[in-house]
Amino acid sequence: MQKIQIERTTAPKAKPADESKLGFGKIFTDHMYVMEYNPEQGWHDPKIMPYQPIVLDPSAMVFHYGQEMFEGMKAYKCADGRIRLFRPNKNIERANNSNRRLCIPEIPADDFLNAIKTLVAVDADWIPSRPGTSLYIRPFVIATDPFLGVRPSNTYKFIIILSPVGAYYESGLDPVKIWIEDDYVRAVRGGIGEAKTGGNYVASLAAQVKAHDEGYSQVLWLDGVERKYIEEVGAMNIFFKINGTVVTPMLNGSILPGVTRASCIDLCKHWGLPVEERRISVDELVEAARTGALEECWGSGTAAVISPVGALRYENEVMQIKDGGIGEFSQKLYDTVTGIQTGKVEDTLGWTVEVTPLEK
Amino acid sequence: MQKIQIERTTAPKAKPADESKLGFGKIFTDHMYVMEYNPEQGWHDPKIMPYQPIVLDPSAMVFHYGQEMFEGMKAYKCADGRIRLFRPNKNIERANNSNRRLCIPEIPADDFLNAIKTLVAVDADWIPSRPGTSLYIRPFVIATDPFLGVRPSNTYKFIIILSPVGAYYESGLDPVKIWIEDDYVRAVRGGIGEAKTGGNYVASLAAQVKAHDEGYSQVLWLDGVERKYIEEVGAMNIFFKINGTVVTPMLNGSILPGVTRASCIDLCKHWGLPVEERRISVDELVEAARTGALEECWGSGTAAVISPVGALRYENEVMQIKDGGIGEFSQKLYDTVTGIQTGKVEDTLGWTVEVTPLEK
């Protein structure tokens, strides 16, 4: 494992005064982590330095050919005063899966975890403690060759930045309304849908704008081949409880393999509840909603953790779920996952990793 | 039209001494163009300034969500000493089509053209004159909001950089070998395939690496739905001459509408040759190659202009075209298009736009 050189800021920023107004992804901490890659040295020279702008040649490949990968995870200040990460190795494994698909060199897992733990430790004072808040961790890689030709870059920067973030739902869980999109497509089998990379997100914007205009907060995507099977929400995976069975789309290469998704499945199995990862057609969903077999629906993701879905719209049909309220099982999942993350529920599954603050 | 403020460099770089060794996209000129966007002022404050690094917050949205658009075109120093652009308004129109799909604000066409003409005029000394060389023009837009949430950015930079580039084929036209990919997918109907944006290029890298390893220089993509119909080469559109008819895949939403593609079609029509824009299955292609009906194949794109294809490989079948040599019609197209671009062939179709060098 490589030793990280630490240069502390001499001009610490003021921390947010009101933890009820953090929002998401707008405020950044005092430090950032940067590691460079070139073919001769591989990943080398890891540093923690004062948070500062990135300076790149205008021809840097990331600006032109989209060779970029990111991850998202959170650190929590727990009731017992300790700092915990939630399943960081799942994110690191996924990051390297994304890297392989995007022809970005893999990052050694131990250096990756050490980078996260050390940076969070350096900026531990920035972790908010108000219920529902956390420190969002954004690792990302960008291609930096100053070259205008299409090929994998030879040089990269791996950067981690931190953002104290508010509760996703300030006044408790609030069901969302979701638009099922049948015109635009996010990703397709054989493409880059299972990699966490910018191209999938820019592809989602036009449909997101359309859904917002119609009064829906998020888009549920259908598969790109038949436009028939449920895929994911873009910022979340999707779950349904149908006739007592929990059902979620199987990982098919175009869906992001969410860490919260995996945790929901693991918890259901742990509780002895039937779970099916399979293809779900939108017709099956509409039928289940009509007959009342569709008991609950929720999204899972790092930002919202568990997000109950109150309504789904497909073409001209609006499916109300739980009369727009919160399902008992969604609430139980939310309480359990956030409980484990924040140390209020015993971590019998060994999911959390503790971070020890650094002495100054 | 907005007035461009011009700040000239006080430290001009040395120009490339040997125009036979320019390569592609590695050398940049003395100046760049930058225009900023925000919701209050729209696109504003256009400047030409010394070529310099871009400085962005690490949370700038382009690094995370891929909201970026680019174009590619060329300026030529012609035999008569004049400087000409080739159909710049086609690129500008396509750029704004890309912008709409990517939720980037459109750029006024007259400001866009004025930006290109003025920047090329300022750096006119950088246009190489050796046959086959040109000044490559790379306009691009990047999303700059310092924000980690998925939505269209509120702020953008529109930048143009210039690169003197060599002849694509130093020793004259040289047929390429192309790999028809049946595993990876570049883009799908409903996605962003017809926009010129990073996400389509990063998606192509893994297949490109695979093709290179097999001894093929480029990848020909099949459609993402049926994996059956010919799409494009990624850096080029593709044309076939089958039984005397020129055939090219129709624009279906997942193919880039190439300016050189349009010019090939226009020229064929001008010459009275039958042209079909339609779906072409890979099976039809294999059959045409087997029976000898496949007379020629070439790619069209800004970088190579016209690129004869000597061999196509699909699964285990290698289709030799013209015994790996150059087809007469490919050669005629190349001579005509490059002739019009460089002023050697009369521009009866009104495709070129002259640039007048600026006094210093």
Closest by CA position to B124, among listed B168, B82, B70: B82
Closest residue in chain B to residue A28, using alpha carbons only: B59
- Residues of A105-114 as b/e, b for ≥16 C-beta within 10 angstroms? bebeeebbbb
Cβ <8 Å between A227 and B28:
no
A32 contact residues in B (CB cutoff 8 A): 58
Instruction: Determine the distance in angstroms separating the CA of A229 from the nearest CA of chain B, rounded to an integer.
Output: 14
What is the spatial distance between Cα A30 and Cα A8, in angstroms, rounded to a whole number?
Answer: 8
Cβ <8 Å between B150 and A204:
yes
**Contact predicate A71/A91, CB 8 Å:** yes
Does the pLDDT value for residue B357 go beyond 90?
no
Predicted local confidence at residue B170, as pLDDT: 64
Chain B interface, mutation test: which of A55, A57, A59, most B Cβ atoms within 10 Å?
A59
pLDDT tens profile A21-60: 999 999 999 999 999 999 999 999 999 999 999 999 999 9
A103 contact residues in B (CB cutoff 8 A): 202, 205-206, 209
Question: What is the ipTM for the molecules in this complex?
Answer: 0.97
A184 contact residues in B (CB cutoff 8 A): 190-191
Predicted local confidence at residue B167, as pLDDT: 79
A163 contact residues in B (CB cutoff 8 A): 59, 148
Q: How far is CA A303 from CA A101, A133, A340, B37, in A?
A: 24, 10, 16, 29
Does the pLDDT value for residue B52 go beyond 90?
yes
Report, in angstroms and rounded to the nearest whole number, the Rg of chain A calculated over CA atoms: 21
- Torsion-angle region of A272 (φ positive above 0: left; ψ -120 to 50: alpha; else: beta): left
Q: How far is CA A203 from CA A235, A304, B104, B188, in A?
A: 13, 21, 12, 11
pLDDT tens profile B135-174: 999 999 999 999 999 999 999 999 999 999 997 766 678 8
* CB nearest to A191's CB, from B24, B142, B185: B185
> CB neighbours of B174 closer than 8 A, spacing ≥ 6?
B308
Domains and CATH numbers, chain B: 5-165 (3.30.470.10), 176-325 (3.20.10.10)
Closest by CA position to A52, among listed B43, B199, B146, B15: B146
Does the pLDDT value for residue A176 go beyond 90?
yes
Closest by CA position to B312, among listed B229, B218, B232: B218
Fill in the amino acid letter for A193. Answer: G
Per DSSP, which regions of chain B are E strands?
5-6, 31-38, 42-50, 54-56, 68-70, 73-77, 83-86, 134-143, 156-165, 176-181, 218-221, 237-242, 245-249, 275-278, 294-301, 305-314, 317-320, 352-355
Fill in the amino acid letter for B100. Answer: R
Cβ <8 Å between B103 and A209:
yes
**Contact predicate B194/B101, CB 8 Å:** yes
Cβ <8 Å between A183 and B190:
yes
A74 contact residues in B (CB cutoff 8 A): none
pLDDT tens profile A72-117: 999 999 988 999 999 999 999 999 999 999 999 999 999 999 999 9
Does the pLDDT value for residue B287 go beyond 80?
yes
